[in-house]
Amino acid sequence: MIARRPLIAGNWKMNGLKAEARALAEAMAARFNSVGSVGFDMLLCPPFPVIGTVVGAVAGTGIAVGGQDCHAKVSGAHTGDVSAAMLADQGCQFVIVGHSERRADHGESDAQVRAKAEAALAAGLVAVICVGETEAQRDAGQTLRVVETQLEGSLPAGATAQTVVIAYEPVWAIGTGRTPTLNDVAQVHGAIRAKVARVLSAEAAAEMRVLYGGSVKPDNARALLGLADVDGALVGGASLKAEDFWAIGCATPGPDAD
């Protein structure tokens, strides 16, 4: 069995002015600096205007920084958009694409998500590709079909475990306090890994990290992160509290980091 190093990613969404972003990033950096080593990777994805602040605050700690979205083009007449190359230039190593809030609020299709992921890879960034079903789709028994369709339409050709991370976020669980059962999460993550094997390769499927997102908190993190095909978490609200976010990271299987 291939050991996949857990990734704990914080999606700050549209939260945090410069002073708040610096304080939160410095708090996470202090925790990393206070321990000899940890058994997980950490990623912070702040709003665009404070990326430089966060990059500076975590420099030298090993904490990675990412954007919350990017445009598919390198440059051009795209008012209000940010390219993957711009994120890389600011010190980012990752970018989230296809988050359910982008798919729903901005009408992004699988093809658009794939184009953004391709742009991320071209800029040297790791693309965190999000997939997930709505409550209506789950109630209709369509979860696996929806997730597999999104995945197939969003994965760039030639993606590898070094260039892509998958994040499964059931839309109905994001920010609601609700989570699927552990069996439900295990089933979907297993289906994602099987789909990656069919679309890419068995090697990519075995090595690619698949994160769970959707109301991940310190009190449910250990159970979720203990599932065989869950390789970390994409955390929303809890990533805005240093103590909670650190606790989620320390809940990963392996040596305790606290």
Catalytic residue among 99, 108, 148, 189: 99
Give 83's DSSP letter: B
Residues 6+ apart with CB under 8 A from 35: 257, 258
How far apart are the C-alpha atoms of 163 and 207, rounded to whole Å? Answer: 11
**Nearest in space to 179 (alpha carbons), one of 187, 170, 167:** 170
Instruction: Name the token pair of 85.
Output: 């190359």
Residue 213's DSSP bridge partners are: 234
Catalytic residue among 101, 108, 169, 189: 169
Q: Is 108 a catalytic residue?
A: no
DSSP string, 5-63: PPEEEEE--S---HHHHHHHHHHHHHHHHHSS--SSEEEEE--GGGHHHHHHHHTTS--
Contact 72, 50 (CB under 8 A): no
Q: Is 99 a catalytic residue?
A: yes
Cα within 13 Å of Cα(185), Cβ side: 29
Mapping DSSP onto H, E and C, the string for 170-207 reads: CHHHCCCCCCCCHHHHHHHHHHHHHHHHHHCCHHHHHH
Show which residues are catalytic: 99, 169
